[in-house]
Homo-oligomer: A and B are copies of this chain.
Amino acid sequence: LTRPLTLPFVFVKGSATRRLSEPTVSRLAVYLRVLLDMTKQRRTTVSSEELAEKIGVNHNTVRRDFWSLGVLGIRGVGYNTDNLILELSQALGLSQERSVVIMGAGNLGSALANYRGFPDRGFRLVAVFDVDPTKIGTHVGGLPVRGVEELATLVRNRDLHIGMIATPAAQAQAAADSLVEGGIHSILNFAPTRISAPADVSVRYIDLSVELQILSFYSSGQPRRNQVKERA
């Protein structure tokens, strides 16, 4: 055997030790979303079948996901919603508060700063940065816009977890570099460009054009794969 084995990427939960695959992690966040919607209706249990239908996956997948997480259901009944919410939140690391900063106080940066969903789950917006001197000092979403050079100071005082890049494409790499220098390991990039970062930094992209283009593909005569499959 010459190739290195996959590193033991595991999630430990009680006595169960399992690997959470990337698709599974993405779905966990979606389950959580649906479950929170459901508890508003005072539901106490859900079946894998019901969740599966709501998010458009196979029910076996749902059970496998929960099983990988180490969450147990009750046969003949389903899963306890409160318990699921707790376990999902824990697995996603939402039990500890995450601080978020925004780079760029333009249209998008302001819209993000005004997003009211942050405190709900454990996200806390702590600062908004920009390079434009005319913007610095103005307020967006109740926070003062600061110059990027203040990032370093802020880092010294508290841990920063997630950086969102909402600058124009041309400044995105510089923004990313500042974030990385500030010790941030998770970046959500809204700028319409790809950025590079060290291997220990997770970068996710939200690119409107890319999304529109993918939709464009499927609207030009090509059926969506999983919908074709679900029809079978």
- A binding-site residues for B, Cβ under 8 Å: 3-4, 6-7, 9, 11, 20-22, 25-26, 28-30, 32-34, 37, 54-55, 91-94, 96, 98, 100, 107-108, 110-112, 114-115, 117, 120-123, 161-162, 185-188, 192-194, 196, 199-200, 202, 204, 206-232
Report chain B residues within 8 Å CB of A207. 29-30, 33
A29-B209, A123-B212 known; 12 new pairs, CB 8 Å cut-off, are: A20-B222, A29-B214, A37-B194, A93-B219, A93-B220, A96-B220, A107-B114, A117-B208, A187-B215, A199-B230, A204-B215, A206-B211
**21 pairs, A vs B, C-beta closer than 8 Å:** A4-B232, A9-B228, A25-B214, A29-B214, A30-B194, A30-B207, A30-B210, A32-B213, A34-B194, A37-B194, A93-B217, A94-B216, A111-B111, A120-B209, A121-B212, A161-B216, A185-B219, A186-B219, A187-B215, A188-B211, A199-B227
The reply to whether A216 and B98 contact each other, CB–CB distance below 8 Å, is: yes
Query: Nearest CB to that of A226 among chain B residues?
Result: B22
The reply to whether A204 and B213 contact each other, CB–CB distance below 8 Å, is: no
Docked CA distance A9–B226 (Å):
11
